[in-house]
Amino acid sequence: MKTRYIQVRNETLKRCERLLPEDMVVQAEVFGSPVKWHLGHTTWFFETFILKAFATDYKVFNEDYNFIFNSYYESIGQRVNRNRRGMLFRPPVSGIYTYRQYVDDAIVALLEHRSDDELLKLLELGLQHEQQHQELIITDTKYIFAQNPLLPVWDAEKTLERFKLPIEIEWLSVEEGVYEIGYKGESFCFDNELNPHKQYIQPVEIMNRPVSNGEYLEFIQAGGYSNPLYWLSEGWDWVKTENITHPMYWFAEDGAYSFFHLDGLKPLDPQLPLMHVSYYEAEAFARWKGMRLPTEFEWETAARIYPGQFNTCVWEWTGSAYLPYPGFRVAEGAVGEYNGKFMVNQMVLRGKSLATPEGHSRITYRNFFSANLQWQFSGIRLVR
């Protein structure tokens, strides 16, 4: 476990290598957080839930950090409002790196003489939590870079060429039947993936790949953003209020589109997977095509039958609301605030994205976001 801990923590630092301190303190919107905050928050998690509970005579690095790096754990104490994280220009970035090293040294020392089950389970949860924030470091920072008028390049080597899709679509059949849904195994999973249960599924065909930029461009050119008949009422209100005319990071000029990614602004490639669309856009596109989004149960079942067809670079919106599985129970203590409290007004996404750390994806993994959010690497797969 010590080796795994070091590897995961180092991966976080690796994702920050090309960032300047100035890049790491910006918060452009409430849905995103500064990189510096991510570095501090993930470290606070280990300090709060492991070192303070299991390490004898551990001395907290800074008592104020519980206030500035607590995210949403009401039972732990007060915290900085989420929309104020960008005001935390002090402590400096260098101080947060010092904090991380201080906690890392204490965790490694603790693991030298403690290996009881409760400790190791909490440590694994902390590492999985850190991997979630590794993905957020990419998505939040991409959004920040896109707000800069110069649209600077973050990493010229992070191109999307390897993700090009085949032009043709194949339809994968799922036969009518009762299928088991949910995680069943001995490795780690989040509590929202439990308990395994049965779901009846009618016969359905699902795309063998996500929707491409070129396919979504046809929706735009057909007036998709100006026809209310394709949109849910909330979605249409969102389109009009926010003046949405295309996916996030698409830039229109002289009738042509460009796309902004980590390697800068490039002409839109029609063969690349569509990404950075909201649930509202995904649902409207499906209606325009005369199809629909899969339920999360259809998605999981198809992914079990055809696993090689679901290893893609975008999270895929489903038509399922984020709700508890039968028998779901909130864990005791502060860690019980991790997933269950968000089971309202969220939609489920399945799969993984190009920003998901290696080893952090499962067929049963349930991601979830509000229907209006676009900043994640979120795409579309249809059923008919």
Task: Provide the domain count of the chain.
Answer: 2
Domain that holds residue 69: 2-147
Whether residue 107 is found in the same domain as residue 220: no
317 and 212 assigned to the same domain: yes
Residues 117 and 168 grouped into a single domain: no
Give residue 333's pLDDT: 67
Decide if 156 is inside a domain.
no
Question: Can you list the alpha helix ranges (DSSP code H) found in 47-92?
Answer: 52-54, 65-69
How far apart (Å, rounded) are the C-alpha atoms in residues 144 and 26?
A: 7
- Residue 29 is assigned to a structural domain of this protein: yes
The reply to whether 168 and 137 lie within a common domain is no
Q: Which of 93-97, 156-160, 339-343, 373-377 has the lowest mean pLDDT?
A: 339-343
What tokens appear for 172 in the block? Answer: 């994968």
254-293 as b/e, with b when 16 or more CB fall inside 10 Å? eeebebbbbebeeebbbebbbbbbbbbbbbbbbbbbebeb
Final residue in a domain of this structure, among 147, 175, 194: 147
Mean pLDDT of 133-138: 98
Give a yes or no: residue 267 inside a domain: yes
259 belongs to a structural domain = yes
Q: Mean pLDDT of all residues in the chain?
A: 96
Q: Domain of 289: which CATH number? A: 3.90.1580.10
Give the pTM: 0.96
Separation of alpha carbons 366 and 322, rounded Å: 8
Tens digit of each residue's pLDDT (9 = 90 or more) over 268-285: 999 999 999 999 999 999
Q: Is residue 54 a part of any domain in this protein?
A: yes
* Residue-wise pLDDT tens digits, 320-347: 999 999 999 887 766 676 778 899 999 9
Do 29 and 172 lie in one domain? The reply is no
> Is a pLDDT exceeding 70 seen at residue 32?
yes
The answer to whether residues 89 and 171 belong to one domain is no
For residue range 286-313, what is the model confidence (pLDDT) as tens digits?
Answer: 999 999 999 999 999 999 999 999 999 9
Tell me the backbone φ, ψ of residue 14, rounded to 5 degrees: -60, -35
Q: Please choose, from the candidates 174, 171, 168, 383, the residue with its C-alpha nearest in 3D space to the C-alpha of residue 291.
A: 383
**Distance between CA atoms of 339 and 73, rounded to whole angstroms?**
11
pLDDT for res 334? 62
Sign (positive or negative) of CA dihedral 34, 36, 37, 42:
positive
Strand partners, 197: 181
Q: Are the CB atoms for 210 and 379 separated by under 8 Å?
A: yes
CB-CB contact of 191 with 184 (8 Å): no
pLDDT at res. 337: 67
